[in-house]
Amino acid sequence: MKLDDTPVPLPWQRREKRFSHNGKFILTVLPLYIFTLAFVAGPLVYMFILSFLQRAEVWGVIGKFTLKNYTDILDPVYLKTFWESIKLAVLTTALTILIGYPFGYFMAKLSAKWKSRMMLFLMIPFWTSSLIRLYGWIIIFRANGPLDKALMFLHITDAPLKLLYTYAAVVVGMVYALVPFMIFSVYSSAEKLDWSLIEAARDLGANPMQAFLTVSLKLTLPGLLSGVVLTFIPSMGLFFIADILGGNKVVLVGNVIQEQLMKAHNWPFAAALAVVLTILTSVMIYLYRRLAKVKDLEGLV
């Protein structure tokens, strides 16, 4: 954080000036400082420490330093879980781009009236409890459910497909839950687009594809990238979608963490898993910032 560029006061003046300037307002930021330090920074630091501690025989933690929790992650079972989670996250993100990018892009081309209507249409399902929407997919995928009936009616299949509790169902659930983030990010970027640039490119002889690739795509890249971050990171942790739509067939890092915490009660190991997951997601955010050269995630709120 750079300090402002007011003339530099002499050392003995500086302290007093800073204090008197901050004096009145320090009270307004105090609640955030206290809350953040006590209930966000504190717990995160504790999780980090916990990941180096030993698990007690039956219950609890022993205050002895160990690296065992981290070496345990190298067990093929857990490495495979991480790999599966990353694979699913990549697949989910790719599909959200495929579906969400055109949506956000086309939406930015609508008239102002339709833009705000579209926004409302999007916000309503987005605000609806994710469990309600998940439940809707259970109804759809259920054997002899609406999807099976429609497919059999159209003679595409002649027996109920068992779609619930499959990998495909989990992918659909994830994409469905995360696609709004991609749409909002791409839209906020595409909305600022100067469409005359594309016309100029066309006038200069570019075909629509070339114009899109060289102008539109480049200018909406920040939105696309923030959409990738906003879908990739949550998809690493959305254990309940895998839980509900995948039965026990799809096991992600999130599911393992939950199991280690709530069932196996191996908290230090769960903490180590969480630290690794945090590092993975931080690397993502770091790469995103380097690539997009922006500070705040666009379209986050």
Percentages of the chain per state (helix, strand, coil), in multiples of 5: 75, 5, 25
Binding to other proteins (CB under 8 A): which residues in 40-79? 40-44, 46-47, 50
**Which candidate, 275, 281, 272, places its Cα nearest to that of 85?**
281
Our finding on whether 261 is near other proteins (CB under 8 A) is yes
**What crossing angle do the helices spanning 267-292 and 217-237 adopt, rounded to 10°?**
180
| Stretch in the footprint of other proteins (CB under 8 A) among 63-71, 198-206, 209-217, 266-274 | 266-274
Our finding on whether 270 is near other proteins (CB under 8 A) is yes
| Stretch in the footprint of other proteins (CB under 8 A) among 74-82, 114-122, 197-205, 209-217 | 114-122
Rounded Cα gap, residues 49 and 43, in angstroms: 10
Give SS3 for 2.
coil
Tell me which of 4, 5, 57, 158 binds other proteins, using CB under 8 A.
4
Amino acid code (one letter) for 79: L
Cβ nearer to other proteins, comparing 201 with 299 = 299
Our finding on whether 278 is near other proteins (CB under 8 A) is yes
Tell me which of 82, 101, 176, 269 binds other proteins, using CB under 8 A.
176
Yes or no: say if 104 and 185 are a contact pair by the CB < 8 Å rule: yes
Binding to other proteins (CB under 8 A): which residues in 75-104? 99, 102-103
Binding to other proteins (CB under 8 A): which residues in 134-173? 134-140, 142-146
In degrees and rounded to multiples of 5, residue 121 shows phi and psi of: -55, -35
Our finding on whether 254 is near other proteins (CB under 8 A) is yes
Our finding on whether 286 is near other proteins (CB under 8 A) is no
Rounded Cα gap, residues 184 and 188, in angstroms: 6
